[in-house]
Amino acid sequence: MNRLPFTRDAGVRADLRRTLGHLGYEVIPFKKTEEAVLTHVPMSVPLTVTVSRAKGQDATVELAVALAGHGYSVSPHLSAHQIRDRAHLAEIVTRCSAAGITGVFVVGGDRTGTPTAFADAMELLRALHEIGHGFADIGIGGHPEGHPEADDEALFQALKDKAPLATHITTQIVFDPKAILGWARELRNRGIDLPVYIGVPGAVHRQKLLRISSGLGIGQSVKFLKKQQNLFWRFFLPGGYRPDGIINGLAPHLGKPENTIAGFHVFTFNDLEPTEAWRKRALRGLAVRPHLEKRALRNSNTTTVF
């Protein structure tokens, strides 16, 4: 099976343990999401709630408020194309503040055909600061393999413009660690020094992901999957996908001075039980003492662990 290999580099192991110990999960605001989170996700796992085009912005805020009420650290996505105007934005900020929510993730989002006061994420970010939001953490999106509606230069410039109004960048899904690393180094070269969290799929069952990518349209991550299905299915194991390859490829570069990669962010597509099982298994594997690694490998049917 495709697993993260043992490494004898104590520093890399420590970085991976720390990163996987604080891994963030993104969830979709469906009817049973709250119940699934309570059943499968520990309180120590930070959550983000994406905006579904079908459900709308308010459903995202409602779920975020509910999860915060259970004690989770939650950041709702705020979509420029789903927030009607400044009054709607102020209402959202008030609801989040009352629920103790201290973070948000600002995106342009999918166009719905309904006019809004905000053309893009930059306009929404500016409005958020102008009304006095009070959030300690504001995330923005990154696109290591580009975006169909903008060239690379425009994307880098947009990040540079938004960076002073944000605290971190989370990328969309990209399967090539080399492409991600090259993009992260270019950010540093251009003076964009925000911490970067690399977006990866969780332990997703292929049937569910195919269903989501075929019809739900929750954002650019799913659009990417729809366009890249031939490539995507090559990464699947018999039971589903695991993000081990991406994480293993980037682990030696965590915290290095030539980039600002700080960790990973998991797009769970609400497959929370297998994703959390994968994370726990990964942490157990990384906790194996180095002097036992060779013995474990000899006793294993594979050359990899967890």
Which helix (DSSP H) or strand (DSSP E) does residue 64 occupy? helix 57-69
Please report the pLDDT score of residue 92 as a whole number.
97
Going from the C-alpha of 203 to that of each of 118, 142, 143, 236, the distances in angstroms are 35, 22, 22, 10
Over its length of 306 residues, how does the chain's per-residue pLDDT go in tens digits? 445 555 667 888 888 999 999 899 999 999 999 999 999 999 999 999 999 888 899 999 999 999 999 999 999 999 999 999 999 999 999 999 999 999 999 999 887 777 899 999 999 999 999 998 989 999 999 999 888 778 899 999 999 999 999 999 999 888 789 999 999 999 999 999 999 999 998 988 766 656 655 443 434 444 545 555 554 544 444 456 678 888 988 999 998 999 999 999 999 999 999 999 999 999 998 886 555 444 444 443 333 333
Determine, yes or no, domain membership for 266: yes
Going from the C-alpha of 136 to that of each of 65, 91, 280, the distances in angstroms are 17, 18, 29
Q: How many domains does the chain have?
A: 1
Determine, yes or no, domain membership for 47: yes
Please report the pLDDT score of residue 121 as a whole number.
96
What's the rounded Cα separation, in Å, for the pair 16 and 55?
35
Q: Residues 253, 219: contact at Cβ < 8 Å? A: no
Determine, yes or no, domain membership for 5: no
Q: Where are the beta strands (DSSP E) in the chain?
A: 24-27, 47-49, 74-79, 103-107, 137-142, 168-171, 196-201, 261-267
Please report the pLDDT score of residue 211 as a whole number.
62
Determine, yes or no, domain membership for 165: yes
Determine, yes or no, domain membership for 285: yes
Please report the pLDDT score of residue 302 as a whole number.
35
Determine, yes or no, domain membership for 52: yes
Determine, yes or no, domain membership for 1: no
The backbone torsions φ and ψ at residue 223, rounded to the nearest 5 degrees and listed phi first, read -60, -40
Determine, yes or no, domain membership for 81: yes
CATH of the domain at 238: 3.20.20.220
Domain boundaries, position 89 = 10-298
